[in-house]
Structure 1
Amino acid sequence: MVDHSINGKTALIAGGAKNLGGLLARDLAERGASSVAIHYNSDSAKAAAEETAAVIEDAGAKAHTFQADLTTVGAMEQLFADAVAAMGRIDVAVNTVGKVLKKPMLETTEDDYDSMSAVNAKSAFFFLKEAGKHVSDNGKICTLVTSLLGAYTPFYATYAGSKAPVEHFTRAASKEFSERGISVTAIGPGPMDTPFFYGQESSEAQAYHKSAAALSRFSKTGLTDIEDIVPWIRFLITEGWWMTGQTILVNGGYTTK
């Protein structure tokens, strides 16, 4: 029988320094992961990555931190190579990297489009490619997308539009990697209570989003909290392995398909 628990497993988390990725890294260590590799993008996240690493070590797991701009193929290849060198193998790979932009199409520049596409689509594709090359047999891969994939809304064309391809990347990868027993999924949270949300939204828009989900009044913020998403990722990369090729919107009834 294949062991689908997290006990003794290794995990690579792109964007694992803070917010959702940081909480997931801590959670996996506390639940028995033997080693966690934490990727972070810029110098501004270095302190958070080191803090998360310290919590992981306190939980009895080994922690490794790597800085990289994952919008280039070479950097993605190096990240996976470094993670394998540090941990010996990768059993679980989770990509929480993303960039949000709320902007009317008529004001969107070519640089805006290229940047959003590079962070949300290109990096996701090559993360899946490298994960397919390096993740252990019967391993697990999960990518964060957005619940806006189920929304009919203006102003998020480059954000939702650059996340949308990941839904098909996930389906394709799940088919191509299935011969090795690897499951591949994507999770689309609703608007989350993180700095990424507040930096894009006016006070009026914040108030709307905090009341838009069917279960908003039962949430501590009205938004999707990172604590709401971690159990879903944990399930999909452990006992929930039979779910593969799917994009799941986890948002308290904010949107649906």
Structure 2
Amino acid sequence: MPSSKPPATGDKPVPPEAPELIWLRPERTGRGPRPAHSRDSIAAAAMAIADAEGLDAVSMRRVAAALGAGTMSLYNYVPKKEHLLDLMLDAACAEYRLPAEPSGDVRADLTALGHEQLTIFRRHPWLPALVVARPGIGPNALRYTDHFLAVTAPTGLPGGARMEAMAMFNGFICQFAQYEQTAAASAKWQAEMVGYLTQAATSGAYPNLAQAFATAGPPADPDQAFDRTLDRVISAILAPMAGS
């Protein structure tokens, strides 16, 4: 039962703590003049900076300047930089062109989804590292998740296992995109790595590595390497269907 005693002098109601997740914060209250900016416009400005100069170049000051706004006014829309990263990640997820319904061919649907994801990662080189560092749980990321779960429903895996399969699927594509970026950025690094591994393989200390190098053939085309490895990842996801 609540106390009938009045609050002590000087006591003030404690305002409720603001949600930590930006997705729990309303974009606008509906009161007052229409805001000059939106989350979509803020995310687009931040993404343009990241695409041109990398994720480290993104700051509240830079984004505010791109929008023609004051830095402090931007905090009214995005309380902290972590929220800005969340908006960028979800805006990138909006670029997925997902069909209304899966086709029913799990391998074909996952292959298409994998190529769609790699295309987006190549368009935004900063994105793979952000995907690894921060889980995407905004509306567009949830749309992707829901689609993946629908596509993999015929495998017979329970929901939790299909979420784990999605993490494996996304993780492979993130890693492939990051390796591709590293190799493209430094031909010298790649040449040195190949030379080092060749030296190790011929040293006699690593017989299995030597055997792999002997049968590897010429360097694979990146797109062909992606297709082969993606197919193996999808085969692992489809294993329950093969055993049923």
Into which bin does the TM-score normalised by the smaller protein fall?
Answer: 0.3 to 0.5
| TM-score normalized with structure 1 length | 0.32
Instruction: Answer 1 or 2: which has greater helix percent.
Output: 2
| TM-score normalized with structure 2 length | 0.33
